[in-house]
């Protein structure tokens, strides 16, 4: 199973072989969540049936370039504010390089009323259902967000009957700036973070991410990420960098 997270406050959009999400959550502890200065930016609930199309370029450890595309569609927003979203591939299906399949796995994602991911469901390669949950949730710092805000947070992810994986993340809301992608020009919050986790095979991943969140929708419009692996070497190829850009929204 492989993981993408193209949600609202997402700080991770995962590729095959990278294990789980490097988003962020208040998990086991919230050691430091220091408010910044200036105007606060509150979370913006999504519009039901709205969708976003992304293009992603992954470079692996052998300097191969893998091009992918996918769409995220808002299925529902409940009375309590919880959100359900569907993720599905639009291009790059079956894109296997050096033994790793980088194609996007279709999944149904669940979020709380602040846009923090609480879990996702998917179908295994043998056709059986699978699911993962976050304790208590993933997806970045708790809104409202202000420039200069910093955070240090931990959370866990549990998939099916596998042992839980623990994550530790720190980050900063750096600035508000204009960013241009194929979908247009956006006023965006710029977030930078580092997240570290060790998967169940003993590989420790360090992901450094810069993410731009549209202030009008709180959706990611651009993300740059780099990955460093230590400990047990991955069996197959793995990503060392990734760029993701919003192509269109409706």
pLDDT at residue 122 above 80? yes
CATH number of 30-249: 2.40.360
End-to-end CA distance of the chain: 29
At residue 91, the pLDDT reads 85
Residue found under tokens 């780099």? 226
Give per-residue pLDDT as tens, 180-203. Answer: 999 999 999 999 999 999 998 999
Give per-residue pLDDT as tens, 99-109. Answer: 998 888 899 99
Task: Tell me the residue ranges of DSSP E strands in 11-77.
Answer: 30-34, 37-41, 51-60, 65-77
Q: What is the mean pLDDT of the chain?
A: 86
What contacts 127, CB < 8 A, 6 or more positions away?
Answer: none
What contacts 128, CB < 8 A, 6 or more positions away?
Answer: none
Provide the pLDDT confidence category of residue 34 given band limits of 50, 70 and 90.
Answer: confident
Give me the torsion for CA of 129, 164, 196, 57, rounded to 10°: -10
What pTM, to 2 d.p., does this model score? 0.88
Q: What are the sequence ranges of the domains in the chain? A: 30-249
**What is the percent of the chain with per-residue pLDDT over 90, rounded to a whole number?**
70
């Amino acid at each position: 199973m492989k993981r993408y997270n193209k949600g609202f406050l997402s700080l991770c959009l995962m590729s095959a072989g990278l294990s789980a999400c490097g988003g962020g959550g208040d998990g086991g502890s919230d050691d430091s969540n220091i408010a910044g200065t200036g105007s606060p930016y509150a979370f913006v609930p999504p519009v039901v049936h709205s969708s976003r199309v992304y293009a992603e370029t992954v470079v692996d450890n052998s300097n191969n370039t893998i091009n992918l595309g996918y769409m995220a569609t808002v299925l529902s927003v409940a009375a309590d504010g919880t959100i359900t979203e569907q993720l599905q591939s639009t291009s790059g299906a079956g894109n296997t390089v050096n033994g790793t399949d980088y194609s996007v796995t279709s999944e149904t994602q669940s979020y709380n009323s602040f846009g923090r991911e609480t879990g996702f469901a998917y179908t295994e390669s043998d056709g059986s259902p699978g699911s993962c949950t976050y304790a208590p949730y993933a997806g970045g710092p708790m809104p409202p967000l202000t420039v200069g805000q910093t955070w240090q947070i931990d959370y866990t992810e549990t998939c099916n009957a596998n042992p839980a994986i623990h994550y530790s993340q720190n980050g900063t809301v750096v600035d508000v700036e204009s960013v241009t992608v194929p979908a247009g020009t956006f006023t965006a919050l710029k977030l930078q973070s580092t997240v570290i986790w060790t998967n169940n095979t003993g590989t420790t991943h360090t992901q450094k991410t810069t993410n731009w969140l549209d202030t009008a929708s709180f959706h990611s419009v651009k993300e740059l990420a780099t990955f460093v692996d230590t400990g047990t070497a991955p069996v197959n190829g793995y990503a060392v960098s990734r760029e993701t850009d919003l192509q269109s929204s409706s």
